[in-house]
Chains A and B, each alone.
Chain A
Amino acid sequence: MRYDFDVCVIGSGAGGGPVAFSLANAGYSVVVLEKGPWLTEKDFYKDELACCLRSVYTSNRRDEPHVVETGDNEEGWHSMTTDKTHWDFWNGNCVGGSTNFMSGFFHRLKPVDFRLLSTFGPIEDANVVDWPISYDDLEPYYDKVEKEVGVSGRVVAHPFAEPRSHKNFPYPPTQEHPVAGWFDKACRRMGLHSVPTPRAILPHPVGKRNGCNYSGYCGAYGCSTGAKGSSRAALLDHAALTGRCKIKPHSKVSRLVTNKKGHLVAVEYFDKYDVKRKLDARIYVVACQAVETSRLLLLSRGPKFENGLANNSGQVGRNLIFAGGGSGSGRFVYSRFSKNKASELHQFGPFLNRSLQDWYVINDKEFGPKQKGGTIDFVNMHPNPVVRSTRQIREGGRLLWGKPLKRKLERHFKDGKYIKIEAFCDWLPNADCHVTLDPKVKDKWGLPAARIRVGFHMRNVEVGWYLAAKGAAVLKRMGAENVISFASAAPPTNLQAGGCRFGTDPKHAVLDADCRAYDVENLFVTDGSFMPTGGSVPHTWTIYANSFRVADRIIQQLGGVKQL
């Protein structure tokens, strides 16, 4: 039997890129279906309107709404359609997906993250489980990501450092802001271990990708040099060059089609002109980011899958997770420092690149029994001037305008510099965090929208507060004023995972340990959906690594690397 392609990959972000790259390099024909356009370095500029104030890189929520359900304690769940709110679950509607717009703070999971249940025991009202694989299974692929995607950094010893197969990162760290030195000094005095944050950013040109130009505008912006390790710049551009990987932008997949035996036989999609098309492949890989992956499976009913593809266990969409955590900031007022120090503060462009993992496991009797903690990243505040200025327009419950607003803007922008804390902890999987199909709301193609319930576990918030407060103490030690730290129960919608967890028991997992659907032998899921727990770091490196791992399994299933 002839197929259009060996492998069809749906979605082109961190989950899709490694599969397309690996399979094309192994000699197989691949098609990547991406809903958005194919933007490149030539389309990315430091334009705050494009990145952050208009829906340019994300789907328009009027055309493609989500329905979000939030809890209000006693009165049950309250639902809203996202086009009428600030909620936005879209993160990157273009080739390369949201990896184009990430900051690229890259941390690996640690061995303990693969065994949360057996290490710390169960937590009431949380569906914590061990992973079906161990850190050792994933380590070679973290290593592969360092090389193929490009991770720059400097390895230092610290109490929670994870084992590595290579001593050093393949790329030296990106340029550091002088305040990183202040941070190191404060940590030394406090007995903490300052960790240089690894970044998915090239410090110098590699192949067709240029090194970072240190414009100071990185997270949320597309990279103009190719230094950022997006799935597009690092993987898909190379996959396309093999001649075996066809990338189809403007291709919105509406359904995966199964036959009477439950075998996947085709994918239906709408092209740029909303014409419905179909193609087939031997193997299908879904990687649309967690919410949309669950939605696509639920939409893909078939003779053997009345409740959605790979959902005979009823598990698809359950145990959705985000990144838990806290945040904070501190202000360094130029006039409080010597002229030299103030001029160091003033420098603009290089990265702060510092993290703390001293509380990756919290062993603090005052806080409770030994438990999982997390990572604290320290970053320069995003420079986005419009966003920052519009945050100044309220005071004392009223709007501020005229000369008082102008004086406030001057103080905010001219008198000092802000450093931010971003703390990451586990978002505990729970029965009230999930994706279903909305019975009424549809997208512009007439397909039911995802309905997302965002219930949280109070433990997330407690650990988030704890970590953020630890970070705040370091900022104070460095000389910051107006230091604040806090945690919230609101999910960061750009850091989604879960919904199709992998596991050893088909009754409680959607995917097997190789991320193959239990019910469908030619279906794999390779975005963050597989994660039963998320670790206490941003998910991206782990998604990349796991996708490379699964790609090897797919190559095996297809008969190994082809002799070309």
Chain B
Amino acid sequence: MLASTPIFSPFIASADTVKLFHPPPGDYLGLSPELWDILEAVQAHLLPTEPDAPGAVEVNALPYLRLMLGEPGRDLADRIFIKDGVNNLAKLAEKKFGKNFNELSVQQRETTLRSFETEQGGSGWISSMLDYVLEALLTDPVYGGNPGGIGWRWLDHTPGFPRPPADKRYFFL
């Protein structure tokens, strides 16, 4: 059950520091560890790591996604949307290459995602995944992404001030 899953621990936060949220072993938000692995791989494909430019891994995109989807104010439909999308993508990878998405080469992942983009709902799902990755890249580090402002530094971006402390994150207002 998505709705009854114990979720959301943004409270692992003192006044100004936030520890990354790692869920307990097993299913989280109704997604198996294998599906979370696929989400992580999709994120890495959408924003790949490069020597001089951070990728999804460096900006903590997966913990960020977990935090945002687990946030109690979040519409249940948003979680279901991500869950259905990753299930469909996994099926497409099996159909196309007979493999788990994570076992595919970079080129095969690209082919699968481009094909998924043309399926009903596929483009919306990928753009939603891109939105979360870009949020992890460029929102305040207090939300767990963009550690130490790595995304801001990459894009020469000047953040505003005062910056939000942990106890004034939007879900506490």
Contacts and interface: CB of A to CB of B under 8 A. Distances in A.
Contacts of A386: 131, 134-135, 138-139
Contacts of B165: 45
Nearest to B138: A385
Nearest to A402: B48
B15 interface: no
A232 B123 CA distance: 43
A399 B126 contact: yes
B159 A414 contact: no
Interface string A380-397: 000101100110011000
A136 interface: no
A37 B170 CA distance: 13
B171 to A, nearest CB: 8
Interface stretch (B6-14, B31-39, B93-101, B150-158): B150-158
Contacts of A213: 161
B155 A56 contact: no
Contact of A383 (B113, B123, B137, B158): B158
A45 B143 contact: no
B173 interface: yes
Interface string B91-120: 000000000000000000010010001000
A39 interface: yes
Interface stretch (A103-111, A113-121, A214-222, A351-359): A214-222
Interface in B58-99: 73, 75
A48 interface: yes
A46 B157 CA distance: 14
Contacts of A56: 170, 173
A398 interface: yes
Q: Which one of B45, B113, B155 has the highest number of Cβ atoms from chain A below 10 Å of its Cβ? A: B155
Contacts of B158: 216, 348, 383
Contact of A39 (B117, B137, B173): B173
A49 B47 contact: no
Contacts of A398: 117
A53 interface: yes
Contacts of A389: 134, 137-138
Interface in A411-437: 413-414
A217 B140 CA distance: 14
Contacts of B48: 402-403, 406
Chain B contact patch, size range: 35 or more
A215 B139 CA distance: 16
Given A43-B168, A46-B164, A405 B138 contact: no
A54 interface: yes
Interface residues of A, number: 38
Contacts of A37: 173
Given A399-B127, A401-B45, A406-B50, A50 B170 contact: yes
A47 B140 contact: yes
Contact of A46 (B137, B152, B159, B170): B159
Contacts, number: 110
Nearest to A53: B135
Contact of B157 (A385, A401, A403): A385
A183 B173 CA distance: 40
B173 A43 contact: yes
Given A47-B170, A62-B75, A385 B161 contact: no
B25 interface: no
A43 B170 CA distance: 9
A240 B173 CA distance: 22
A43 B168 CA distance: 7
A213 B160 CA distance: 10
A348 B157 CA distance: 10
Given A46-B162, A213-B161, A386-B135, A401 B155 contact: no
Contacts of A254: none
Nearest to A215: B160
Given A393-B130, A414-B155, A49 B139 contact: yes
B20 interface: no
Contacts of A49: 135, 139-140, 143, 169-170
Q: Which one of A53, A62, A213, A386 has the highest number of Cβ atoms from chain B below 10 Å of its Cβ? A: A386
Given A48-B139, A56-B173, A386-B134, A401 B46 contact: yes
Given A48-B139, A49-B169, A386-B139, 11 more contacts: A37-B173, A47-B139, A47-B140, A49-B140, A54-B170, A385-B151, A390-B130, A402-B47, A405-B47, A413-B155, A413-B156
28 contacts: A43-B168, A46-B159, A46-B160, A47-B169, A48-B139, A49-B135, A50-B164, A50-B170, A50-B173, A54-B73, A54-B170, A216-B160, A383-B158, A385-B151, A385-B155, A386-B139, A389-B134, A393-B130, A394-B127, A399-B123, A399-B127, A402-B47, A402-B48, A403-B48, A405-B130, A410-B155, A413-B155, A413-B156
Interface of B: 45-48, 50, 53, 73, 75, 110, 113, 117, 123, 126-127, 130-131, 134-135, 137-140, 143, 151-152, 154-165, 168-170, 173
10 tightest A-B CB contacts, nearest first = A46-B160, A217-B160, A45-B164, A413-B155, A50-B170, A385-B138, A47-B164, A401-B46, A215-B160, A389-B134
